Amino acid sequence: MKLFRPVGSLLLGGTLAASLAACGSGTQNAAPASSASGAEDGTLTVFAAASLKQTFTELAKTFEQQHPGTKVALNFAGSSDLATQITEGAPADVFASADTKNMDKLAAASLVAGKPENFATNVLTIATPPDNPAGITSFADLAKPGVTVVVCAPQVPCGAAAQKVEAASGTTLKPASEESAVTDVLGKVVSGEADAGLVYVTDAKGAAGKVKEVPFPEAKDAVNTYPIAAVGTSAQKELGAEFIDLVTGEEGRKVLGAAGFGRP
Amino acid sequence: MRPASAGPDGRAGRRRRQSAAGSPGLPRWILLPAALGFLAVLLPLAAMAARVNWSEFLPLVTSPASLTALGLSLRTAAASTLLCVVLGTPAALVLARTRFPGQQLLRALVLLPLVLPPVVGGIALLYTFGRRGLLGQTLEVLGIQIAFSTTAVVLAQTFVAMPFLVVSLEGTLRTAGNRYEAVAATLGARPTTVLTRVTLPLILPGLASGAVLSFARALGEFGATLTFAGSLEGVTRTLPLEIYLQRETDPDAAVALSLVLVAVAAVVVAVSYRKTFTGALDAAAR
């Protein structure tokens, strides 16, 4: 009937618009990738852990200024996702992982050129909403009854680190949720759903103002090391090596340090 | 739907007339894009099935974590389907049988979750039922905590599944027409009697297939649950969330569980496909 039509066309219109938008972004993404093989200076494709988004975006800009004509295409995701993508044939030149495990996985598949270099470390911290409603002051406070704590699942690096800290401090947490990504933990704290969450120092710094950071000494028991390496299938290993030099060099140190990353 | 059960308005007869008029046939060239269209959907599914580690399949899908997640998924999907039926049926009746200003807008808005990215639904639910949300304070005073509970999962699933029930049921209602209701009313039946004795029995097949579709959608819900409910084994970690997590460490388990979900969804869609979509499309075409 008549009434039904507008909805049908609205839904269709919406779907169409969405798919068109998807096509649009698809071609945009494809453009630099295809020019990578052709152009002389070309594009350097860097796959980096999600926690490196802010710092690597800044370093990529510096790199582009130092190498006029070169574009750095950045792909941020969970380290294990990126390692899987590269194993399945994604065209990456450089891989920066948030843990050594995923770099080892790539090395086992003979997809790492040379030796991975450790360039940063990260430790856990407690993030609470700005008003710290549960009055958290220590790691042991997280185990108090009535405190809603959110952590990462043990399967992902930040959850593995949380488990290490639990074991070392002898505190057993009863989390309300075990998220698959540290950003989801942070989200639950920022929205006020959780009284506290275990996140990386760099996440808490990045969300300054929206969360309060409660550092705890036991964090030193679980230090995550970030390695970087050129990908074995890369056609531009020289350019990749220069990018790695930038990250491991003084400029990289400065940017990473400002974001809260430690020295390896 | 078989022509015999097509309903009392002569839909079967109309369809027979259409086919008697004869389809002029399709141009041959359309077969190629059509084949590509089918492949676009079927090829990824086949590729996934090809990756299944069959020797490990049974142990992987029957691990305690998998079974807990599957059980939770079935329970929450059943609960949200019930909510969809209880709340969606009246909504579909109001949309199909009444006229009021702003009705088209209301219908469009109610159907929005069909096209919204689920994560947006999750954020919307968070700002409604979350601790600092619209209703959160009130609920907390009443001693109800929704965040990180199984209730949150059911709410998320209901949010995304409801439009499936409403849209398919409204189609069924329009297809069925209101002739029988009008006759019952002239014979002195009160509105409630007409609804329970005439309308509801008439649309029961449509309601059933709408409910099955809602169940399938609820079963596959991921984004809103992740954003709004969290992920804890046995409480909020449904099968899609378990797959997402397993993928981190055990891709074989993730693929095996994905196949289980695909199988369940395939059965559900096969059961409801013809009834629901032919009903909805008929209504849309008129």
What is the secondary structure of A93-148 as a DSSP string?
A: SEEE-SSHHHHHHHHHTT-EEEEEEEEEEEEEEEEE-TT-TT---STGGGGSTT--
* Rounded Cα distance, A182 and A185, in Å: 5
Q: What pLDDT score does B94 carry?
A: 94
Same domain, A131 and A116: no
Q: What pLDDT score does B12 carry?
A: 47
Residue A191 counted as domain residue: yes
Same domain, A136 and A219: yes
Domain that holds residue A166: 122-223
Residues 6+ apart with CB under 8 A from B166: B88, B91, B92, B95, B110, B111, B210
Instruction: Test A175 with B284 for CB contact under 8 angstroms.
Output: no
Q: Is A25 part of the contact surface with chain B (CB cutoff 8 Å)?
A: no
Domain that holds residue B173: 61-285
Instruction: Test A3 with B107 for CB contact under 8 angstroms.
Output: yes
Q: Is B174 part of the contact surface with chain A (CB cutoff 8 Å)?
A: yes
Residue B230 counted as domain residue: yes
Mean pLDDT within A54-76: 94
Residue A231 counted as domain residue: yes
Same domain, A185 and A231: no
Residue B202 counted as domain residue: yes
Q: Give chain A positions within 8 Å (CB) of B230.
A: 150, 176-179, 188, 193
Same domain, A208 and A134: yes
Q: Give chain A positions within 8 Å (CB) of B249.
A: 80, 155
CA A212 to each of CA A40, A151, B103: distance values in angstroms, whole numbers, following the listed order: 48, 16, 46
Same domain, A214 and A231: no
Residue A210 counted as domain residue: yes
Same domain, A143 and A219: yes
Question: Phi, psi (5° rounding) for residue A185?
Answer: -60, -50
Answer yes or no: are the C-beta atoms of A162 and A222 closer than 8 Å: yes
Same domain, A229 and A197: no
Answer yes or no: are the C-beta atoms of A101 and A49 closer than 8 Å: no
Q: Is A1 part of the contact surface with chain B (CB cutoff 8 Å)?
A: yes
Residue A72 counted as domain residue: yes
Residue B14 counted as domain residue: no
Instruction: Test B126 with A193 for CB contact under 8 angstroms.
Output: yes
Residue A190 counted as domain residue: yes
Instruction: Test B115 with A14 for CB contact under 8 angstroms.
Output: yes
- B148: closest CA of chain A, how far (Å): 6
Q: Give chain B positions within 8 Å (CB) of A193.
A: 126, 130-131, 147-148, 230
Q: Could you tell me which chain B residue has the CA closest to the CA of A101?
A: B249
Q: What pLDDT score does A252 carry?
A: 95
CATH number assigned to the domain comprising residue B101? 1.10.3720.10
Same domain, A110 and A129: no
Residue A146 counted as domain residue: yes
Residue B265 counted as domain residue: yes
Instruction: Test B115 with A11 for CB contact under 8 angstroms.
Output: yes
Mean pLDDT within A3-9: 43
Total tally of structural domains belonging to chain B: 1
Total tally of structural domains belonging to chain A: 2
Copy the structure tokens of residue B28.
């041959």
Residue B107 counted as domain residue: yes
Which of B43, B49, B60, B59 is closest to B257 using CA atoms?
Answer: B60
Residue A15, helix vs strand vs coil: helix
Read off the pLDDT band of B252 (50, 70, 90).
confident
Instruction: Test B108 with A177 for CB contact under 8 angstroms.
Output: no
Same domain, A55 and A87: yes
CATH number assigned to the domain comprising residue A197? 3.40.190.10
Answer yes or no: are the C-beta atoms of B265 and B220 closer than 8 Å: yes
Q: Which of A18, A175, A193 sits opposite B115 (nearest CB)?
A: A18
Residue A3 counted as domain residue: no
**Which amino acid is located at B46 in the chain?**
A
Q: What pLDDT score does B275 carry?
A: 53
Predicted complex ipTM exceeds 0.90? no
Instruction: Test B241 with A180 for CB contact under 8 angstroms.
Output: yes
Residue B25 counted as domain residue: no
Q: Give chain A positions within 8 Å (CB) of B248.
A: 78, 80, 153, 155-156, 180
**CB proximity under 8 Å: B 35-94 to A:** none
**CB proximity under 8 Å: A 82-121 to B:** 84
- Is the pTM here over 0.80, yes or no? no
Q: Is A177 part of the contact surface with chain B (CB cutoff 8 Å)?
A: yes
Count CB atoms within 10 A of the CB of residue A147: 19
Q: Which residue of A105, A178, A184 to mutate against B (max B Cβ within 10 Å)?
A: A178
Mean pLDDT within B9-37: 70
Q: Which of B108, B130, B244 sits opposite A193 (nearest CB)?
A: B130
Residue B247 has pLDDT above 70, yes or no: yes
Span A117-150, pLDDT tens digits: 999 999 999 999 999 999 999 999 999 999 999 9
Same domain, A218 and A89: no
Same domain, A172 and A237: no
Mean pLDDT within B33-57: 92
Residue B196 counted as domain residue: yes
Residue B140 counted as domain residue: yes
Q: Which of B111, B233, B249 sits opposite A11 (nearest CB)?
A: B111
Copy the structure tokens of residue A161.
């680190």
Q: What pLDDT score does A22 carry?
A: 40
Q: Which of A155, A175, A193 sits opposite B131 (nearest CB)?
A: A193
Span A248-260, pLDDT tens digits: 999 999 999 999 9
Residue A17 counted as domain residue: no
Residue A214, helix vs strand vs coil: strand
List residues bridging with A230 in a β-sheet: A94, A113
